[in-house]
Amino acid sequence: MTFPLKFTKPPTDIPSKALTSVPYFLERYCPTGGRKPQPVLAGRSVLSPKIELNDYNCTAVVDWLEVSLETPGVHQAVNVHRFLNSKLKDLGSNCTLHVSGPERKSGYRGSYFIVRIQQPNPRDVVPLFQSAILYYKIEDTCVRCLPVSGIEISVDFKARANGNWSRSERDLKRWQIQDLLLRHLRVAPNLTELQKCSPRFFGSKHKQVEFVVRQTIPKLGSKLASAGIRDKSASALILSAYHPPQLDMTYYVGSNQQSVLLRIMDKTSDRRDPGKSVAGKLPENHWRARIEVSLLEENGLFGIPRALGIHSLQDLFRYKFREIRKLIFEFYLPTFEGDGTAKFHEIGTGVFELETFRRGGVYGLDRLHRSLTLAATQTELFDENSYHTQKLGKKGRLVSYPNLNRKVDRALKALETQWTT
């Protein structure tokens, strides 16, 4: 089976019937090594994509790095920017940078600065900030002890350059891997359940924000309403609440008001200068599917970089980037009861697993499973011996997608090598 690729404005150079995901095949779930399946997975079927991941180069980069710089005197951010920018030129660096105050706003005057370097070269970072320490006479500190206040890590998938594909075929392969990332990513639930952090998508030309699982109120008199199931748990049990992401829009998890913001996009443009709002078109041979995450220290608070062990530049230069994958870049395969088309007559909403996955990916399917468990254990909608009364663990009824996870691991390991200085 395949799923249609969704666009707000479908491409015109590829027939609509060809705009589909990679093929999927359904088979009975069997754990590796002949082990007995967990009770929550016993008798279930797993839906797997048929894709040649070796057709894609997968690379990880530090897209930008923020370093905190505290000076003994008062200075204007624009002057600090001029000084650091001139030093970058002296180093022969192609990096760009932006300097702001502690709240990341321009026009700042003071002594506490956040320096954001776009696409940093590890070899340039130490000499750049060493020159700042000397110039501004910052005492009792070393360059490697400077605090890291933010970092953005990106993982890119691009069809191999040596592949014998036409322009249209490359576009389709890029959209298919983007669809795969969207469909199989499940970020740690504690990051998606925060206020205004639920998975959603929008684009600059489409101002409407659409949530993958939209907050939906059960109809008055419905089984859900009568049972008292409300809010997010009710939404996940209503099929009309699910909306598949559009590939020409950006998919978001988290918030720019929080410490974590993740995005998945069709990367065909780039904004190298963080001080400017206009993005430039990339050459076609640089187009790729991208998943990226911004990790920020909140002003005066213990934020995500330090929680992950990145306190300073010294920590960054020996950091095991693979450690963030299970928190941020973890991919799963869906499992179904049978072929996933059975409806749950106990709740009477028409929702079923296969369609939930088609619209909401493993994120939506996991929410459905957990809401079914809630309905089975906290209401009388299901029989007390129902299959859905089983307690769900961290993975729920999902299983790991090992091939994709290993590919991302290898890219993050290569990034570790680049930043070991």
pLDDT digits (tens, 9 = 90+) for 315-349: 899 889 988 888 889 999 999 999 999 998 888 88
Dihedral angle, C-alpha 34, 37, 42, 46, nearest 10 °: -70
Provide the pLDDT for residue 301: 42
pTM higher than 0.95:
no
Domains of the chain, by residue range, sit at 1-420
Contact yes or no for 271/292 (Cβ under 8 A): no
The residue among 234 and 47 whose pLDDT is bigger is: 47
Provide the pLDDT for residue 306: 67
- Which tokens in the block code for residue 268? 């065909």
Provide the pLDDT for residue 6: 92
Q: Is 284 exposed, middle or buried (0-12, 13-18, 19+ CB in 10 A)?
A: exposed
Average pLDDT over residues 400-417: 95
- Closest to 159 measured CA to CA, from 69, 57, 294: 57
Contact yes or no for 66/418 (Cβ under 8 A): no
Contact yes or no for 305/151 (Cβ under 8 A): yes
The residue among 340 and 231 whose pLDDT is bigger is: 340
Contact residues for 301 (Cβ-Cβ < 8 A; gap 6+): none
Q: What is the DSSP letter of 213?
A: B
Radius of gyration of the chain (CA): 24
CA distances from 42 to 28, 45, 387, 397 (A): 9, 9, 11, 10
Pairing of strands 24-28, 45-49: antiparallel
Contact yes or no for 185/329 (Cβ under 8 A): yes
Spatial distance between the Cα atoms of 27 and 38, rounded to a whole number of angstroms? 17
Q: Percentage of residues in the chain with pLDDT exceeding 70?
A: 93
- Closest to 174 measured CA to CA, from 158, 163, 155, 194: 158
Q: Percentage of residues in the chain with pLDDT exceeding 90?
A: 50
The pLDDT-based confidence of 398 (bands split at 50, 70, 90) is very high
Contact yes or no for 375/381 (Cβ under 8 A): yes
* 30-82 pLDDT tens trace: 887 767 778 898 889 999 999 999 999 999 999 999 999 999 999 999 999 99
Contact residues for 414 (Cβ-Cβ < 8 A; gap 6+): 59, 60
Residues counted in the chain:
421
Provide the pLDDT for residue 302: 41
Provide the pLDDT for residue 257: 65
Residue owning tokens 């300073």: 312
